[in-house]
């Protein structure tokens, strides 16, 4: 046995991919042409697997804000928020995020992954309990592991199962942290947030919602599922990322709890990680302003998502959930999914191939992410590629 023995199964899977001659996990976009187009393997390709929901990566005002920050503040902070890495822009962004959600305060982290890791490893400890939806993101699981709390899974989107498990905890339910996502990243389905809030009201506990895939997508102002359903006051902590709708990198948590500020002093992923660069902070602040200013981008995104979903459904493809910017086509065989993904790429359409253990229930998924920047023609070209590859009965 060596320290590398644990990777034997992974190595075997890699050899399988090499035998097939398809490696979906080493795709390089050689040239970025626009938010929705790039050059891959020398071929002009529609990008339909980027999570660039509002297409703001090329927004002129976001780029201008980034360029100004680069000119006057440099390329990086070279330090953590607790040392030398807190600039005025970091704190201003935190104030703007808190105002955007109507919450008391917020904390900005260097990535969305670190936002979950930083919050969950600190909020809960060995004497605490966590109830999390079984389909939660890896960053949520990792944060719980780091905090060493007693972690209990409840069935995906099953408020009755959540209630059953809270009931078993008795008085301890009041101090239990409940973890869900607004839109789940693999299948694109929405959390049953209203029903989960009803359970929380009955048994107590704290509720954290990861709105990574719903920020900018849902709600009158783009705040996510909690805003759309009018339940912001019932959510104790909202975690999100800048790397999807806001077109940058970083993460955050907003809350009305006064104790949120204490997380800054106790969260190791916050204390010991270099803070986001001034460029990232500046572009994110401008993207948040664009998000707050109007709903035209969300309207276009919704139209594109409904269009692609309905057309794939009409072709007979089994889809993972209702229409959302995450549209997952379900396959029952890994090799078929691999070949289908590769054939789409050869036809100039880049999507995500998602395989176990990342997927729920061992599914094999071809996952599309729709952008407001996709044109109607691009949506039709994506559909045409799926139609051309449709298996015959």
DSSP 296-327: HHHHHHHHHHHHHHHHHHHTT--BSSSSSSEE
| Catalytic residue numbers, as ranges | 185, 213, 244
Which residues, in sequence order, are CB contacts of 275 under 8 Å at separation 6+?
77, 79, 80, 81, 85, 86, 87, 90, 108, 110
Q: How far apart are CA 53 and CA 304, in angstroms?
A: 10
Q: Is 209 in a helix, a strand, or coil?
A: strand
């Amino acid at each position: 046995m060596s320290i590398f023995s644990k990777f034997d199964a992974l190595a075997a899977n890699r050899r399988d991919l090499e035998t097939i001659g398809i490696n979906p996990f080493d795709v390089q976009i050689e040239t970025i042409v626009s938010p929705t187009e790039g050059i891959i393997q020398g071929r002009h390709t529609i990008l339909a697997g980027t999570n660039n929901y509002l297409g703001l990566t090329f927004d002129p005002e976001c780029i201008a804000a980034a360029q100004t920050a680069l000119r006057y503040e440099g390329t990086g902070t070279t330090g953590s928020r607790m040392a030398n890495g807190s600039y005025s822009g970091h704190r201003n962004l935190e104030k703007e995020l808190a105002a955007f959600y109507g919450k008391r305060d917020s904390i900005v982290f260097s990535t969305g992954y670190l936002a979950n890791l930083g919050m969950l490893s600190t909020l809960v400890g060995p004497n605490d309990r966590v109830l999390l939806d079984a389909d939660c993101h890896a960053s949520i699981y990792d944060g719980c592991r780091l905090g060493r709390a007693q972690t209990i899974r409840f069935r995906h989107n099953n408020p009755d199962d959540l209630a059953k498990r809270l009931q078993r905890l008795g008085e301890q339910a009041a101090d239990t942290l409940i973890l869900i996502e607004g839109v789940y990243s693999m299948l694109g389905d929405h959390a049953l947030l209203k029903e989960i809030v009803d359970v929380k009201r009955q048994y107590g506990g704290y509720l954290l919602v990861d709105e990574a895939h719903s920020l900018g997508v849902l709600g009158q102002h783009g705040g996510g599922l909690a805003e759309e359903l009018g339940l912001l006051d019932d959510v104790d902590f909202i975690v999100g990322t800048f790397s999807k709708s806001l077109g940058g990198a970083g993460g955050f948590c907003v809350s009305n709890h006064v104790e949120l500020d204490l997380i800054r002093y106790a969260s190791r992923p916050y204390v010991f990680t270099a803070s986001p660069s001034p460029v990232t902070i500046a572009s994110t602040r401008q993207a948040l302003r664009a998000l707050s200013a109007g709903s035209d981008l969300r309207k276009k995104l919704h139209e594109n998502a409904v269009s692609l979903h309905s057309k794939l459904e009409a072709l007979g493809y089994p889809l993972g959930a209702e229409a959302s910017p995450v549209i997952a086509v379900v396959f029952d065989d890994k090799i078929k999914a691999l070949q289908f993904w590769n054939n789409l790429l050869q036809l100039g359409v880049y999507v995500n191939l998602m395989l176990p253990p990342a997927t729920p229930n061992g599914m094999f998924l071809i996952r599309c992410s729709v952008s407001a920047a996709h044109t109607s023609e691009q949506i039709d070209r994506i559909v045409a590629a799926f139609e051309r590859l449709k298996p015959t009965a």
